[in-house]
């Protein structure tokens, strides 16, 4: 199935297969790797509107991007309409972002307990007011990332979809699970299809995409305008290239060539990608600490090594002795030390 470019407002995404925002993962290091391997667009990590309002340097650092990192959305959360509008204005004024995305799908307790994220699905009038305020405050397009519902007792998927569209959003991305289920259970693609039929604005489908082959399945089952993936891309930036092959009509017509089943199994490719990811994390931390008024417990390299620990299990899944490597990683605080351990495991598994 061939994907067409996605256009909303002034944004044009040539290949609408997007990297989902994930706190603790999708910083500029991961985003740029995914863009270079075919991701159509990316999002900043979840950014607090109140943090922007309070001039929090740590919050501003979440919105830092790499050079020429486009298309990219500034992804913000909060429950105060005025704070959200001011945050959106800041995002626009940086000149770094192509559109602003409002989160009303994050199920994490510390976000929901503030009445933000997925909690907004329980208060659709407030969600509508936030969207309207943000739209009025900026000239950039505005999208909303949400879910099919908070739980079975609150607003349903179609009610949520219509409230978002009627409030003026230009695009919607929907994770096809209830917030109460986090990432558990099967994604409900039938509800995505119903939302697609009910909406006039573009809709991105999210949830239940674990392999490249899942993408054409979602497209055929739901008719969504594009797809968004999160965990399947961690430690696997190649997946976006593989999706392009799977979705290519010529590729799928060919009976001689099978769709790739994890083309990332080349050990040396994985090893080299891990080294490059670490290098970019070190560079990001160097930039973060230069000229900062904050005090840092760790050097840029040490901070990068700590941050990379969350990515390691995904890079090595199915290939290495993950438990052995992760136990050693807890003590490793240099790039050379980490890569030396990776090289030992690569040598054992070749």
d(CA 79, CA 186): 29
pLDDT of amino acid 322: 67
Taking alpha carbons only, the member of 214, 252, 248 closest to residue 230 is 214
Identify the CATH assignment for 266-349 out of 1.10.8, 1.10.3470, 1.10.1200, 1.10.287: 1.10.1200
pLDDT of amino acid 214: 96
**pLDDT digit string (tens) for 217-252?**
999 999 999 999 999 999 999 999 999 999 885 445
Residue ranges of the domains in the chain?
6-253, 266-349
Taking alpha carbons only, the member of 283, 290, 292 closest to residue 58 is 292
pLDDT bin (cut points 50, 70, 90) of residue 265 is low
Checking if the pLDDT of 259 tops 50, the result is: no
Compute CA 49 distance to the chain's CA centroid, rounded to the nearest angstrom: 18
Taking alpha carbons only, the member of 127, 171, 125, 181 closest to residue 149 is 181
Percent of the chain clearing pLDDT 90 (strictly above) = 83
- Residue 175: phi and psi, rounded to 5, are -85, 125
d(CA 230, CA 228): 7
19 DSSP β-pair partners: 229
Pairing of β 142-147 and β 99-103? parallel
- The token duo for 134 is 């943000």
**pLDDT digit string (tens) for 69-91?**
999 999 999 999 999 999 999 99
- Residue 163: phi and psi, rounded to 5, are -60, -40
106 is catalytic: yes
**pLDDT digit string (tens) for 28-51?**
999 999 999 999 999 999 999 999
**Whether the model pTM is above 0.85:** yes
Whether 6-253 shares its CATH topology with 266-349 is answered no
Class of domain 6-253: alpha beta
d(CA 233, CA 311): 10
Give the 3-state secondary structure of the chain.
Answer: CCCCCEEECCEEECCCEEECCCCCCCCHHHHHHHHHCCCCEEECCCEEHHHHHCCCHHHHHHCCCCCCCCCEEEEEECCCHHHHHHHHHHHHHHCCCCEEEEECCCCCHHHHCCCCHHHHHHCHHHHHHHHHHHHHHCCCCEEEEEECCCCCCCCCHHHHHHHHHHCCCCEEEEECCCHHHCCCCCCCHHHHHHHHHHCCCCEEEECCCCCCCHHHHHHHHHCCCEEEECHHHCCCCCHHHHHHHHHCHHHHHCCCCCCCCCHHHCHHHHHHHHHHHHHHHHHHHHHHHCCCCCCCCCCHHHHHHHHHCCCHHHHCCCCCCHHHHHHHHCCCCCHHHHHHHHHHHHHHHC
Per the document, the length of the chain is 350
Look at the block and give the residue holding tokens 């099967």. Answer: 186
Look at the block and give the residue holding tokens 């607003």. Answer: 155
Which is catalytic among the residues 106, 217, 247, 305?
Answer: 106
Contacts of 61 (CB under 8 A, 6+ apart): 288
Q: What is the largest CA-CA distance in the chain?
A: 60
Flag the least confident range among 56-60, 93-97, 290-294, 344-348.
344-348
Residues 75, 79, 84: CA angle, nearest 5 degrees: 50
């Amino acid at each position: 199935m061939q994907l067409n470019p996605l256009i909303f407002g002034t944004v044009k995404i040539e290949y609408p297969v997007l990297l989902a925002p994930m706190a603790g993962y999708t910083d500029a290091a991961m985003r740029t790797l995914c863009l270079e391997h075919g991701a159509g667009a990316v999002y900043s990590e979840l950014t607090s509107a109140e943090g922007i309002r309070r001039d929090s340097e740590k919050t501003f650092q979440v919105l830092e991007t790499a050079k020429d990192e486009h298309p990219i959305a500034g992804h913000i959360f909060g429950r105060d309409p005025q704070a959200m509008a001011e945050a959106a204005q800041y995002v626009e004024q940086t000149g770094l972002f192509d559109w602003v995305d409002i989160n009303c799908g994050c199920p994490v307790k510390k976000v929901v307990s503030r009445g933000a994220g997925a909690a907004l699905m329980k208060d659709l009038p407030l969600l509508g007011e936030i969207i309207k305020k943000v739209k009025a405050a900026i000239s950039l397009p505005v999208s909303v990332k949400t879910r099919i519902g908070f739980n079975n007792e609150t607003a349903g998927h179609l009610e949520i979809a219509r409230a978002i569209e009627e409030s003026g959003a230009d695009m919607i991305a929907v994770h096809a699970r209830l917030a109460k289920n986090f990432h558990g259970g099967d994604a409900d693609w039938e509800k995505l299809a119903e939302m697609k039929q009910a909406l006039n604005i573009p809709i991105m489908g999210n949830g239940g995409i674990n392999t490249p082959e899942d993408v054409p399945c979602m497209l055929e089952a739901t008719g969504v305008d594009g797809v968004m993936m999160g965990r399947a891309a961690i430690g696997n930036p190649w997946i976006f290239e593989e999706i392009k092959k799977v979705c290519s009509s010529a590729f799928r017509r060919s009976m001689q060539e099978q769709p790739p089943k994890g083309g990332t199994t080349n050990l040396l490719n994985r090893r080299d990608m891990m080294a490059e990811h670490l290098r970019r994390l070190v560079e990001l931390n160097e930039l973060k600490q230069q000229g900062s008024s904050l005090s840092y417990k760790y050097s840029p390299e040490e901070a990068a090594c700590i941050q990379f620990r969350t990515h390691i299990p995904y890079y090595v899944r199915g290939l290495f002795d993950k438990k052995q490597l992760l136990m050693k990683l807890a003590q490793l605080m240099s790039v050379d030390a980490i890569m030396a351990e990776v090289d030992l495991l690569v040598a054992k598994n070749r």
